[in-house]
């Protein structure tokens, strides 16, 4: 287990080395940590909520996502989603509708790391730009331990000159299965920079505890997954808010 943890320590080290000086960071309220696995012929309905907490430039900012996903086979799933955002001091508004796909690529020999690819196209609404997003998904599972790492690339389409550049980030988690299907651990979400400076200056992040549970309540005909976290702002992200809360609820049924 000690050797396994060391292998994943670089994930946190790379992310946290970017936090030593002030800079603006994307709060990434819409992000979650993805694994690369596909559940064949399973229909999933997911709600995802994230909100900035405490004083800061983004105090009260909130993102809410509704998503429906279906596993076409053991390697590919497709999903439709809608994204609602609330900027500080404003009301909720629908800012985008998207199509996403996840593909399981396989396992890296010797290190037993599973890999996947995430692709998303989002149509911007109410003045927001269209967006494309890609993620490399990595997962390592050994006994009760699971480590996940997502490398994220986002780029707007149709943005004004000088604003249509790509930004880079990450989402990662380390969890252990404790009692039954309850997993406890830690999560981090943050930035690596953009086309004007990849890792060339410090970036902000949010880091904190994570709780995840999945099972089938007797009174429901579906499986339920709950993923919750409270993430403290670090370095540059402290300008935005003191922390952020996230909760994801999924309902799944296999056909």
Q: What is the pLDDT of residues 108-124, one digit of tens each?
A: 999 999 999 999 999 99
134's CB contacts (< 8 A; 6+ apart) are 117, 118, 119, 120, 152, 153
What topology does CATH give the domain 2-250?
Answer: Porin (2.40.160)
- Give the residue from 237, 235, 214 showing the smallest Cα distance to 39: 214
* CA distance linking residue 49 with residue 230, whole number of Å: 12
**pLDDT at position 22:** 35
Q: Which residues contact 29 (CB under 8 A, 6 or more apart)?
A: 50, 51, 52, 61, 62, 63, 85, 244, 246
CB atoms within 10 A of CB 246: 25
Confidence class of residue 202 from pLDDT cuts 50, 70 and 90? low
Q: What's the pLDDT at 11?
A: 45
Q: From residue 224, how far is each of 50, 200, 250 by CA, in Å?
A: 19, 42, 6
Q: What pLDDT is stored for residue 7 in this prediction?
A: 52
Above pLDDT 70, what percent of the chain? Answer: 89
The residues spanned by each domain of the chain are 2-250
pLDDT-derived band of residue 142, with 50, 70 and 90 as boundaries?
very high
Going from the C-alpha of 79 to that of each of 41, 73, 84, 147, the distances in angstroms are: 13, 13, 17, 24
Q: Are 79 and 100 in contact (CB under 8 A)?
A: yes
pLDDT digits (tens, 9 = 90+) for 68-81: 999 999 999 999 99
Is there a contact between 73 and 39 (Cβ–Cβ < 8 Å)?
no
Of the candidates 204, 197, 214, 211, the one whose C-alpha atom is nearest the C-alpha of residue 240 is 204
Separation between Cα atoms, residue 181 and residue 130, nearest integer Å: 38
Distance, in Å, from the CA atom of 14 to the CA atom of 28, rounded to the nearest integer, reads 18
């Amino acid at each position: 287990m000690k050797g396994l943890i060391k292998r994943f320590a670089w994930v946190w080290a790379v992310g946290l080395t970017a936090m030593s000086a002030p800079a603006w960071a994307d709060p990434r309220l819409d992000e979650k940590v993805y694994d690369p696995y596909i559940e064949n012929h399973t229909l999933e309905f997911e709600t995802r909520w994230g909100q900035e907490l405490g004083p800061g430039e983004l105090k009260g900012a909130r993102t809410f996502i509704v998503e429906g996903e279906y596993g076409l086979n053991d390697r590919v799933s497709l999903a439709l989603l809608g994204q609602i955002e609330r900027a500080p001091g404003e009301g909720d508004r629908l800012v985008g509708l998207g199509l996403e796909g996840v593909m399981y690529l396989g396992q890296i020999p010797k290190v037993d790391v599973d890999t996947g690819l995430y692709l998303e196209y989002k149509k911007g609404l109410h003045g927001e730009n269209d967006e494309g997003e890609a993620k490399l998904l990595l997962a390592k599972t050994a006994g009760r331990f699971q480590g996940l790492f997502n490398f994220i690339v986002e780029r707007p389409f149709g943005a004004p000159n000088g604003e249509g550049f790509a930004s880079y980030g990450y989402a990662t988690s380390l969890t252990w299965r404790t009692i039954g299907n309850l997993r406890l651990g830690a999560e981090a979400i943050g930035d690596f920079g953009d086309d004007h400076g990849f890792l060339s200056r410090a970036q902000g992040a949010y880091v904190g505890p994570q709780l995840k549970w999945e099972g089938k309540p007797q009174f429901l005909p579906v499986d339920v997954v709950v993923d919750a976290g409270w993430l403290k702002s670090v370095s540059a992200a402290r300008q935005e808010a003191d922390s952020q809360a996230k909760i994801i609820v999924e309902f799944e049924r296999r056909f």
